[in-house]
Amino acid sequence: MAPFDDHSPDPTEQIQRLLKEAQVWAYQEPQRALQQVQQAFGLLSPHDDLELQLQVREWLVNCLAIVGDNQEGLRQAWELLALSAEADHQHMQATANQQIATMLSTSGQYEQSLPYFQAARVLSKEASPGQYATSTLNLADGLEKLGRLVDARQTYQSVLELPPVTEEVEVVQAYALLSLVGLQVLEFEVGTLDVAGLQEGPASLQQVIEQARKGRDRFLELYAQALLTRVWVHVGNAVQSTPAFEAAWEIAAELDQPRAWACAFEARAYLLCLQEDHTQAIECFEQAIRHLEAVSSHGELLQLLNSFVRYLKFWKKFEKAFEVLWKLHSLDQVVRTEGVLLQAQLVTLQTQIELARKENELHLQHVRELQHLQAQLQDQNQLLEKLSREDELTGVFNRRHAVHLLRELGKGAGCVLLLFDVDHFKRINDGYGHSRGDLVLRGIASIVRGFLKAGDVFGRLGGEEFVVALEGSCLQTAEKLAQNICDAVSKATWEDMPDTQVTLSIGVAVFQEGTLETALHTADEALYEAKALGRNRVVVRPSARWNGTSNSLH
């Protein structure tokens, strides 16, 4: 009888082989890579080496994040964090915090991601220069997405100041340089930076492209070429923008992934903008949106929609802009709902850890950490709720929420709209500085609030333009109220501006039938008539269909 020959492979060797294959396929065929890691995870036993268990869990989270399954990815990452904390494995704790933060950010939960990025940064500072650089970069990205641009710029700059001790650090620094140029482009698009501020952008992006080619990072090169297209478009250089776009498109075709195509289509939209082909440009933006929707990338989708809105407003495509703003509002609702689900996941995980480790001396520590994290998430969700509704400067409703409330009023008995802006506001900013201009806007908001009742809507549409919706008021009452507001503002005195009279021009119109856009357009026409008649006055555009009260026009 021949001797017994057991050809079954060693489980540890199988796991290592599956992990190596997964690393090869992670970005080319993410689903295939995920299946291989799941096989490796299934082969693990509680007796396996701790390093191997942590390595498999790390790659499981990576692959779940790549395919866009953030819900399961976050669950696995929280378990990895608990396991690595129990083992006092500092490097893996930093990795788990980094993974959790990245997935939260990708889901649009920017406030919730910051503590994890900060934790990863602290844990990796001494142990891993590359991980420390990456954590710092991602922290800066989170700050940027929250609108804290000064903090974001300083944090990106701190990445560039790190010693380039490894190739990984150099690549991260290239991403930081890319992001700094992206900040300049954003400031240009919102009107806080003139075109001269973009002049150094192409040279910086060429550095990024060279580093991307050196590190064979095709996504980095794609992002740089796409942003370079955008910069050349903004400076009006059609000759340079075309080859940059063509390079971006070629890389996207090579990668053939939704995020890559979204980036390329957005670049194409800006190129078409330079050619004034707005129909095709809008279609390209919508193609980019569809690609990001395919991978449920809420964070990137929020950024893209904001970029789309800026484009539409600049080219005065207001009807389409309102449509995209509504999409932004709906996505914001989804993001906040997901935040609630994440809280529920935390509670579930807390229970699992309590049951699994009730005999462990670290049990109470884990419970306290999870409770603290839950409290942080609740506080941050409350802050997000407030930020999603209020204008930060004046405390009135922001544009998105005000538009939502106006549409709701329009579905009922209707309302009267007061659309107004500050006369010669640019002179105030130019003569006294933007801080005084902000003071004036806050003061006007305070004055107007004093004239409103419960149920009225008061929102800032942007800049010095505001809207008030008076629920259940007749046109005559609305006109009288508008005149009182006009008079009160014109008589107000302003700190450090004793000789300056601030005035308003107000347009009044009815919103009962038809679209909100039509009603706002009518009010806007009335506002501009008030301007033409000399400012500091109220102009009413009546509607024969308005049946608000006994004093209404018929």
Write phi, then psi, for 76 (nearest 5 degrees): -70, -35
What single-letter amino acid sits at 272?
A: L
What single DSSP character describes residue 129? H
Q: 380 is written with which tokens?
A: 């941050």
d(CA 545, CA 239): 54
**Listed residue (366, 387, 377, 367) closest to 145, CA to CA:** 387
Angle, vertex CA 146, rays to CA 121 and CA 408, nearest 5 = 150
**Listed residue (470, 487, 335, 458) closest to 391, CA to CA:** 458
Q: 51 is written with which tokens?
A: 């390093």
SS3 197: helix
Question: Using an 8 Å Cβ cutoff, are 464 and 400 in contact?
Answer: no
d(CA 153, CA 135): 15
d(CA 407, CA 417): 12
Looking up tokens 């494995």 gives 89
| Options 79, 111, 464, 479, the catalytic residue | 464
Q: What is the largest CA-CA distance in the chain?
A: 111
d(CA 180, CA 384): 25
Question: Using an 8 Å Cβ cutoff, are 397 and 389 in contact?
Answer: yes
**Listed residue (371, 278, 302, 265) closest to 108, CA to CA:** 302
* Nearest-10 Cα torsion for 372, 373, 375, 379: 140
Question: Using an 8 Å Cβ cutoff, are 150 and 163 in contact?
Answer: no
What single-letter amino acid sits at 234?
A: H
Q: Is residue 276 annotated as part of the catalytic site, yes or no?
A: no
In 28-132, beta strands by DSSP E:
none
Question: Using an 8 Å Cβ cutoff, are 60 and 20 in contact?
Answer: no
Q: Can you say whether the dihedral through the CA atoms of 471, 474, 478, 480 is positive or negative?
A: negative
Looking up tokens 């009044």 gives 508
Residues classed as catalytic? 464
